[in-house]
Chains A and B, each alone.
Chain A
């Protein structure tokens, strides 16, 4: 067997193959076939937030600390669906002795959103309940313009405000905020 593969092709075999190919190409013609492609797109939504944010002191004594958080998101909702972005304080400020979201020290307002309707007025962040950041409409889609958002990803700013109470101990404190997006 090994010897057979090492041998060069026989001339008659080469001629036979060349003839077959020539006949095959002579038979040609054109035709079209329709193929139906079905794609079922499910509602989906994802977001991204900065890993950290440092709040800065106000300009005057005991005015609130503040900071702005940029939330980026992509969403697709069904014609009868919609969606939301919510936030919850999943870990209150630590160590103790400082501000506390459970005591309603952390509030936020929502800036303009490139997709959906941002929260209105001042919201109080909660350690126990999800609070609204943004509402996604039905048939939402991200990027490309037209009936979809112009930008991909879509974005909105969340403006955080933390009361500066004289009763807080001096020191550094941190809390964790978890944003959740959903679409139907």
Chain B
């Protein structure tokens, strides 16, 4: 009963003191800060071969056009249950018209195919893959708790483009986009 009698008059003073405590920083000869960071799954890659020129050594259609694209990747996947991928997609088909085409080749069966080489912790794609303009295709996969070297790890894609007599002579260019992801 007595406490309740004084409460209305004491309450403003208590509130003032409480607010004063929060409004003013505590000054002392030392001060401690807790620095925190959340390390999330992450991935990045760099294409080392800006332009990959495909060449052939034959003159009688007995060899296809070949070339290599080199890349460096960095990856960190979740410690438990994580994964990751590197994929590629032909985002701009060969041009100008009259030459090879990934989407609409002059002859059925003409392809821009590739094989993959990726250093650990990545696993390169298996066998020969056929690139596509409509879907991403695998270059490499990563398992759980995959961690690349600080400077990154290497990989490469070896291209094979069908040498079809239907192609007009000339120089043709396509754009391939590589994508890396990690969870």
**Chain B residues closer than 8 Å to A72, beta-carbon distance:** 25, 27
Query: Once the chains bind, are A179 and B150 in contact (CB under 8 Å)?
Result: no
Interface residues on chain B, number (Cβ under 8 Å): 33
Query: Once the chains bind, are B33 and A177 in contact (CB under 8 Å)?
Result: yes
B28's partner among A48, A99, A176 (CB-CB below 8 A) is A48
A61's partner among B26, B27, B39, B44 (CB-CB below 8 A) is B44
Of B43, B44, B75, the most chain A CB neighbours within 10 A belong to: B44
Interface residues on chain A, number (Cβ under 8 Å): 50
Interface-located stretch among B12-20, B47-55, B57-65, B76-84:
B76-84
Contact flags B16-39 to A (C-beta < 8 A → 1, else 0): 000000000111111111111111
Docked complex: B78-119 residues within 8 A CB-CB of A:
78-79, 82
CA separation between A71 and B28, bound complex, in Å?
12
**Chain B residues closer than 8 Å to A179, beta-carbon distance:** 30-33
CA separation between A42 and B99, bound complex, in Å?
87
Q: With A48-B26, A48-B27, A61-B43 given, is the CB distance from A172 to B32 under 8 Å? A: no
Give the interface SS of chain B, mostly helix, strand, loop or mixed.
strand
Contact flags A143-167 to B (C-beta < 8 A → 1, else 0): 0000000000100000010101111
Give the interface SS of chain A, mostly helix, strand, loop or mixed.
strand
8 contacts between A and B (CB under 8 A): A49-B31, A51-B32, A62-B74, A93-B37, A166-B42, A173-B37, A176-B35, A178-B30
A169's partner among B29, B37, B44, B145 (CB-CB below 8 A) is B145
B56 CB, nearest partner CB in chain A, Å: 36
Query: Once the chains bind, are A53 and B35 in contact (CB under 8 Å)?
Result: yes
Query: Once the chains bind, are A177 and B145 in contact (CB under 8 Å)?
Result: no
Residues of A within 8 A of B (CB): 45-55, 57, 60-62, 65, 67, 69, 71-74, 90, 93, 97-99, 106, 153, 160, 162, 164-182
Q: With A166-B42, A166-B149 given, is the CB distance from A46 to B34 under 8 Å? A: no
Query: Once the chains bind, are B32 and A49 in contact (CB under 8 Å)?
Result: yes
Docked complex: B119-155 residues within 8 A CB-CB of A:
145, 147-150, 152
**Chain B residues closer than 8 Å to A177, beta-carbon distance:** 32-35
Q: With A72-B25, A166-B42, A166-B148 given, is the CB distance from A171 to B79 under 8 Å? A: yes
Query: Once the chains bind, are A51 and B33 in contact (CB under 8 Å)?
Result: yes
A62's partner among B25, B26, B36, B44 (CB-CB below 8 A) is B44
Query: Once the chains bind, are A175 and B30 in contact (CB under 8 Å)?
Result: no
A159 CB, nearest partner CB in chain B, Å: 12
